[in-house]
Amino acid sequence: MKSYQINPDFLWGVATSANQVEGGWNEDGKGMSIADCLRYRPELDVTNYKVANTITSKQVEEAVSDLSTKRWGKRHGVDFYHNYRDDIKQLAAMGISAFRFSISWARIFPNGDDEEPNQAGLDYYLDVVKEMKKYNIEPIMTLSHYEIPLNLVLNYDAWYDRRVIGFFEKFAKTVIDYLHGYVKYWIPINEIDSIIRHPFSSAGLIEDRFPRENFKNVIYQAMHNQFVASARIVKYCHETYPDIKIGCMITSTMVYPYNSDPRNILRTTELMRSVYAFSDIQIRGKYPKYLLNKLKEEDIEIKKQPDDDEDIKDGTADFIAFSYYSSVCTAYDTTGLQVTKANRINGVYNKYLPESEWGWQIDPIGLRVSLITLYDRYQKPLFIVENGLGASDVLTSDHKVHDDYRISYLRDHIQEMLTSVMEDGIELMGYCMWGTTDMISASSNKISKRYGLIYVDLDDEGNGSYKRYRKDSYYWYKALLSFGNKIPLSFFDRPLENFDTSTAS
Contacting ligand BGP (CB under 6 A), which of 234, 237, 329, 442? 442
Q: How far is the CB of 176 from ligand BGP (least distance, A)?
A: 21
Q: How far apart are CA 347 and CA 258, in angstroms?
A: 10
Examine residue 441 and tell whether it contacts ligand BGP (CB under 6 A).
yes
Examine residue 118 and tell whether it contacts ligand BGP (CB under 6 A).
no
b/e code 133-149 from CB counts within 10 Å (16+ = b) = eeeebbbbbbbbbbbbb
Examine residue 117 and tell whether it contacts ligand BGP (CB under 6 A).
no
Closest CA to 126 of 141, 111, 112, 113: 141
Q: How far is the CB of 197 from ligand BGP (least distance, A)?
A: 9
Per DSSP, helices labelled H in 387-449 are 404-423
CB 247 within 8 A of CB 319: yes
Q: Binders of ligand BGP: how many residues, by CB under 6 A? A: 15
> Going residue by residue from 41 to 80, which x/- string records binding to ligand BGP, judged by CB under 6 A?
----------------------------------------
Query: Where are any strands of DSSP class E within 359-412?
Result: 382-386
Within 248-267, the residues that bind ligand BGP by CB under 6 A are 251
Q: How far is the CB of 444 from ligand BGP (least distance, A)?
A: 6
Q: How far is the CB of 502 from ligand BGP (least distance, A)?
A: 30
Region of 28 please: left (phi>0), alpha (psi -120 to 50) or beta.
left
Examine residue 402 and tell whether it contacts ligand BGP (CB under 6 A).
no
Stretch in the footprint of ligand BGP (CB under 6 A) among 51-59, 130-138, 307-315, 434-442: 434-442
Stretch in the footprint of ligand BGP (CB under 6 A) among 124-132, 296-304, 313-321, 435-443: 435-443
Kindly list the catalytic residues.
Answer: 191, 386
Q: How far apart are CA 426 and CA 6, in angstroms?
A: 11
Closer residue to ligand BGP in complex, CB, 157/386: 386
Q: How far is the CB of 292 from ligand BGP (least distance, A)?
A: 27
Number of H helices, E strands in the chain: 17, 16
> Going residue by residue from 327 to 356, which x/- string records binding to ligand BGP, judged by CB under 6 A?
----------------x-------------
Within 177-216, the residues that bind ligand BGP by CB under 6 A are 190-191
Q: C-alpha dihedral over 436, 144, 440, 179, to 10 degrees?
A: 40
Closer residue to ligand BGP in complex, CB, 251/340: 251
The strand order across the sheet containing 327-330 reads 254-257, 327-330, 346-348, 339-341
Within 16-35, the residues that bind ligand BGP by CB under 6 A are 17, 20
What residues contact residue 446 under an 8 Å CB cut-off, 6+ apart? 40, 46, 73, 440, 460
CB 429 within 8 A of CB 10: yes
Q: How far apart are the first and last CA of the chain?
A: 28
Q: How far is the CB of 49 from ligand BGP (least distance, A)?
A: 10
- Which residues contact ligand BGP by CB under 6 A? 17, 20, 190-191, 251, 323, 343, 386, 390, 434, 441-444, 449
